[in-house]
Structure 1
Amino acid sequence: MLKIQEIREIIKLIDHSSINEFTFEQDGSKIKMKKQTNEIETVVRNVVAAPPAEAVHVQQETQAAPAQPATLEVAAPIEESKADTANLHKITSPMVGTFYAASSPEAGNYVEVGSKVTNDSVVCIVEAMKLFNEIEAEVKGEIVEILAENGQLVEYGQPLFLVKPE
């Protein structure tokens, strides 16, 4: 898997160049960066080990305005929740790592939308440095929305679930 620092270095290189779109693909993994409205949008999906310098294709386009400093988005953009989020509790990631909805690929997910949870209910696992950390709901209620995808890299403080408290 590419390291966060390697991805950040790629972002800096793209930001300081005239390249508007960059795609890196290897072994079924893909990183795509595109400058849009003076920003760089970065999407990382299913990244596996790969040297950072192997780019499959780079496409150049012209841009009228200069780009702003790059920002790193590790996950695909999440649409705004249609539910009123003011009354919902967010279960956030306590660390940087990989989100897993189940204990193994064969096992069912810990929770689904509509699942009832208690304070000590395990809702997912975040794997960091080969350590699998069970994440508890810390609130009694019902899962309204799952904000992360299985196998997705998550950041510290990133919302993973929305819970309607009881």
Structure 2
Amino acid sequence: MLKVQEIRELIKLIDQSSIDEFTYESDGTTVSMKKSNTAPQVVREAVINTPVQTTDTKLVKPEPVIEARKEVDMEKENQKTEQENTSISSYDHEIVSPMVGTFYSSPTPESDPFVSIGSNVQKDTIVCIVEAMKLFNEIEAEVSGEIVEILVDNGELVEYGQPLFRVKTK
């Protein structure tokens, strides 16, 4: 069976080629792709080979299971790339998570966030809390500047090194 990454690569190759339709069959699995004016669609058909037993002890041959998945429209992807390129020029520094944990934007659920977009921060300004193993770790800005983007939502799990904020340094 093809992996998701292999299917994505096939989609890219078909999209860049002059082929309008593509079908791949292997081990009872069929992957079909067809170009159209809208977003490309991938249909994956898998046949389950386990017989199903009914209450009156008759064996019933299973029906094929069809799973359809739409890929992201290229235009939306281009817009996302343009937005990323625009935001790259609007900041100088990213504040990253020093650990794996849960991101909190304020000290308590009722409190205002430590910072918001447009907030001016100093090196020792607390910008958020990351909770790890019941310990609440205050994260400092480490640079002086203005918060131009908040990259995570309150209560979201964050990874080590994941960008949390973008700062335009002064």
- For 2:115 and 2:131, the matched residues in 1 are separated by 17
Displacement of 1:106: 0.1
- For 2:94 and 2:117, the matched residues in 1 are separated by 14
Contact 1:18 1:62 in 2 (8 A): no
1:124/1:37 Cα in 2 relative to 1: closer, same or farther (>3 Å)? same
One-letter code of the match for 1:93? S
Displacement of 1:87: 5.0
Contact 2:93 2:169 in 1 (8 A): yes
- What TM-score comes out, normalization by structure 2 length? 0.53
Query: Identity of paired residues, percent?
Result: 54
Partner of 2:116: 112
- Aligned residues, how many? 105
Partner of 2:16: none
Correspondence list, 1:24-103, <5 A: 37=8, 63=31, 80=84, 82-85=86-89, 87-103=91-107
One-letter code of the match for 2:127? V
More helix by share: 2
Which 4+ residue blocks in structure 1 deviate beyond 4 angstroms? 17-20
- What TM-score comes out, normalization by structure 1 length? 0.54
Contact 1:103 1:125 in 2 (8 A): yes
One-letter code of the match for 1:118? Q
SS at 1:135 equivalent:
strand
Among 148, 152, 163, the residue aligned to 1:148: 152
One-letter code of the match for 1:150? N
Displacement of 1:88: 1.2
Contact 2:90 2:148 in 1 (8 A): no
